[in-house]
Amino acid sequence: MLRIGLTGGIAAGKSVVARRLAELGAVVIDHDVLAREVVGPGTVGLEEVVAAFGDGVLAGDGSLDRPALGRLVFDDDAARARLEGILHPEIRRIAAEREALAGAADDRAVVVHDIPLLIETGQADRFHLLVVVHAPAEQRVARLVGGRGLDEAAARARVGAQATDEERTAVADVVLDGTGTDEGLCQQVDALWQRLCAEVEQESDAAAEA
């Protein structure tokens, strides 16, 4: 099994890469999806979040009010660290379970962990290969304003809250260029996939001969 960490700054094109990898046959574990699952209604995670931040983070139907929670933690480092201390252990536990299932089903599986804040949470050394989707910060700000409807101040705040471009590329094993079209980015993914499949095949053959 080949374990890949996938990350990139907001609006760099990481979602395009994850989607294409899944189409090609990778097992993609989306940690953003897991972050929502671990605080779903009735979960221990939601109970812990409410205990830490109060009933004001609950919506009328008893689910998590994400915008309300976001307002509490976005500019408060201590509050954000408290939230991460609740979420991250559960996210990693579930991710490990799903990775183990993929490996049990196919020992040649390529498992991709899609983690937006991979660098920020100190996980750069947890994978066989670290893939970073890169687009310059200014281009990502423009995409957030033009494509997602954020005002410029909000877009810059989102970009500034993440690791810098230099911090991500410094630890990357593979850097994919997210500055162009989705089609061009997918072509880069296809080339990477061919390489990964060849490496998995070689490793499997070597293990069989040993």
**pLDDT score, position 186:** 98
From residue 168, alpha-carbon distances to 5, 131, 165, 191, 199 in Å are 12, 9, 5, 21, 24
Length of the chain, in residues: 210
Write the pLDDT tens digit of every residue in 173-198. Answer: 999 999 999 999 999 999 999 999 88
The percent of residues in the chain predicted with pLDDT above 70, rounded, is 97
Mean pLDDT of 136-163: 93
DSSP tag of 66: H
Write the pLDDT tens digit of every residue in 80-122. Answer: 899 999 999 999 999 999 999 998 999 889 999 999 999 998 9
> What is the residue-averaged pLDDT of the chain?
92
Tell me the three state secondary structure of residue 173.
coil
| pLDDT band, residue 139 (cuts 50/70/90) | very high
Q: Is the pLDDT of residue 145 over 80?
A: yes
Q: Where would I find the H helices in the chain?
A: 14-24, 31-37, 44-53, 66-73, 77-105, 137-148, 152-160, 165-171, 182-209
d(CA 40, CA 31): 14
**pLDDT score, position 208:** 63
| pLDDT band, residue 200 (cuts 50/70/90) | confident
State whether the Cα torsion 84-89-93-94 is positive or negative: negative
**pLDDT score, position 95:** 95
Write the pLDDT tens digit of every residue in 16-36. Answer: 999 999 999 999 999 999 999
d(CA 5, CA 132): 8
CATH topology of domain 2-209: Rossmann fold (3.40.50)
Q: Is the pLDDT of residue 205 over 80?
A: no
**pLDDT score, position 77:** 86
